[in-house]
Structure 1
Amino acid sequence: LAYPRLIRDVFPVWATGFFLAVLLGAVFSSFNSLLNSAATLFCLDVYVPLKKEGVSDKHLLKVAKIASVAIALFSFIVAPLLQFAPDGLWQVIRIFTGFYNIPVVAVVMVGLFTKKVPALGPKIVIVFHIIAYGLFQFVLGDVISIHFLHLYAILFIVEVGIMLGIGHFRPRAQAWTYQAHNKVDMKPWRFAIPCAVTLMSSVIATYLLFSPIGLVGGLSASFWPLIWIIIAINTVVWWWFGRHDPVPLHVVGE
């Protein structure tokens, strides 16, 4: 494997043990975090709703421990199979996260921009996505060859359309409205928008730097004018918000 070979060739023999300790610490830390998160999701989102009677904290903690052990054993069994992944571990993770990340994004987007889509819409979309993505990715892959990122985009558009269609033909009886109950000062931070502009500008500048316009093509004539435009936009935005406070919002709950 490439990475172990790199470590063996670069590190002296006496330092490989220290590096292994650091690497194992990082792996165990991430694994422990994911294990706790998975057990928490199972207990709160699956086990508790299925139990009709109330569940005590002591019983829930016991179930969480059992779920953690079961998930850990399952991961121990599956982990060795990853060496047969043709495109590496990262590609496997990206493919399998497609089972849940796209419907979540679609549901959040529809929830942000609509008020009459009922809960039936997201429920249908989640079931549809799992079945459709599994079929196109693992069953019909030899018949219909499509990259999983393109499948992401297609399913996202289809699922948004499904929810909008359900919201049109079977809308909520009453449009959703935000009900504020907490008395929290919601005055926005005056530099929130400038910081957002600067972050987006940094992403664009990084893309330009490592694109054919930048280092790849040897810094073309259009590189520096684009960078100066980005700097000028940021300068104007920071100057404007430095002189003008945003309009204060009301105190939530009043």
Structure 2
Amino acid sequence: MLVGPDASTITQNQFQSIKTEISMSASSLAEGQKGVLTTGLLKLFGPLFLVLPGLITFAMFPDLGAANADQAYGQLVNAVLPTALSGFFAAAMLGAILSSYNSALNSTCTLFSLGLYRGMIRQDATDREAVASGKMFGWIIAVFSMGAAPLLMGQESIFAYLQQMNGIYSIPILSVVLCGMLSPTMPSLSAKVGPILGPALVACGYFIGPIATWVGAVHEYHFLGMVFLFLVGLMLLIQQLYPRVEPWQQSGVEVLDMTPWRYSRPAGAAMCGLVVIVYFAFADFA
């Protein structure tokens, strides 16, 4: 069961294009490592504003129930926050939401303009045309997302539903990235099979009646873990049958200082230790 949630979490926190683009924009390898480790340290404070409010709300409003979990945060804020600070809190929440939304929207526009428009639709497009295509695609995505948002109100839990939908793309992305990073002879065919077959398999498990019933019986995370292992095994099989003629070698990094930060390993080890401490602090072994 650990494979499913771990794979989904790793993809969302490490391999999303938003995080990748920011990390790769560093002026050197050392600065990039510092940024990633600093972000990881800030992530450790997540339980303070993600877990604790829910626990406090559960203690204060035991009658709220799991069916109304999406109302928990609002109930807690309404109960403990002074009325004079309500506007300030709403502004802070709106700013945080817009910041995350803008980051995702900009990343999506970049993927479309460079990956699809210039990469496949018009390979001879100028920079101005690529930027214009990204802006137009951004408008389409923005209007679509705002129109689709009210449809989520019918879900029992918006957070759980979004996490479930994330599994459609997170598992294939992780399998492709891991295989590509760990094997220099992995062919491009593997990278094409994963993103096509993976979402199809996960979607079948979510939306096709008999398969969805089976997934519900074995648990969703078990299913995601099995899809992940299947994709990795399939890509390794393709590698054995059709390996790259020339092993891949990294190039184009001469313009950057690739000297690692000398404290990257100790800092990474300390970060792992803090993660274990946080886990044991919040885990219920009863």
* TM-score, normalisation: structure 1: 0.75
Distance in 2 (CA, whole Å) between partners of 1:67 and 1:18 is 33
Pairwise mapping of residues 1-254 of structure 1 onto structure 2 (< 5 A)? 1-86=71-156, 88-139=157-208, 140-145=211-216, 146-179=218-251, 182=254, 186-211=258-283
Structure 2: stretches of 5+ with no match in the other structure: 1-70
- How far apart, CA to CA, are the structure 2 residues paired with 1:190 and 1:211? 33
Aligned equivalent of 1:230: none
Conservation of the 8 A alpha-carbon contact between 2:186 and 2:239: yes
Alpha-carbon separation, structure 2, partners of 1:179 and 1:43: 23
Inter-partner Cα distance in structure 2 for 1:8 and 1:26: 19
Q: Distance in 1 between matches of 2:73 and 2:261?
A: 44
Shift of 1:150: 1.6
- Aligned partners of 1:28, 1:175: CA distance in 2, in Å? 43
Aligned counterparts of 1:73 and 1:183: Cα–Cα separation in 2: 40
The Cα of 1:7 is off from its aligned counterpart by 2.2
Matched residue count: 213
- How has the CA–CA distance of structure 1 residues 137 and 188 changed in structure 2, closer, same or farther, with 3 Å as cutoff? same
Q: Tell me the alpha carbon deviations over residues 193-217 of structure 1, each in whole angstroms, 9 at most, x when there is no partner.
A: 22122111111222233345xxx77
Deviations 1:19-75 (A, max 9, x none): 212221221222222211111111111111223451122222222221111111111
CA-CA distance at 1:112 after TM superposition: 2.5
d(CA) in 2 for partners of 1:47, 1:164: 30
Q: CA deviation at 1:13?
A: 3.0
Deviation at 1:78, TM superposition (A): 1.0
Matched-pair contact (CA < 8 Å) for 2:168–2:199: yes
From the two aligned structures, give the one with the greater helix fraction. 2
Bigger drift between 74-83 and 139-148 goes to: 139-148
Q: Which moved more, 1:134-143 or 1:12-21?
A: 12-21
The alpha carbon displacement at 1:127 in A equals 0.9
Alpha-carbon contact 2:105-2:138 (below 8 Å) kept: yes
Q: Secondary structure at the match of 1:99?
A: helix
Q: For 1:72 and 1:119, locate their aligned partners in 2 and report how far apart those are by CA, in whole Å.
A: 32
TM-score normalized by the length of structure 2? 0.67
- Report the alpha carbon displacement of residue 155 of structure 1 after superposing the two structures with TM: 1.0
Do the aligned partners of residues 187 and 206 (structure 1) sit closer, same or farther apart at CA in structure 2, a change above 3 Å counting? same
**More deviation, 144-153/178-187:** 178-187
Say what the alpha-carbon RMSD is for the aligned residues.
2.2
Higher relative CO (CA 8 A, sep ≥ 6), structure 1 or 2? Answer: 2
Give the secondary-structure state (helix, strand or coil) at the position aligned to 2:92: helix
1:79-137, CA deviations, whole angstroms, 9 ceiling, x for partnerless residues? 11112211x22212211111222122111221222232210012112111011110011
Of the two, which has the highest radius of gyration? Answer: 1
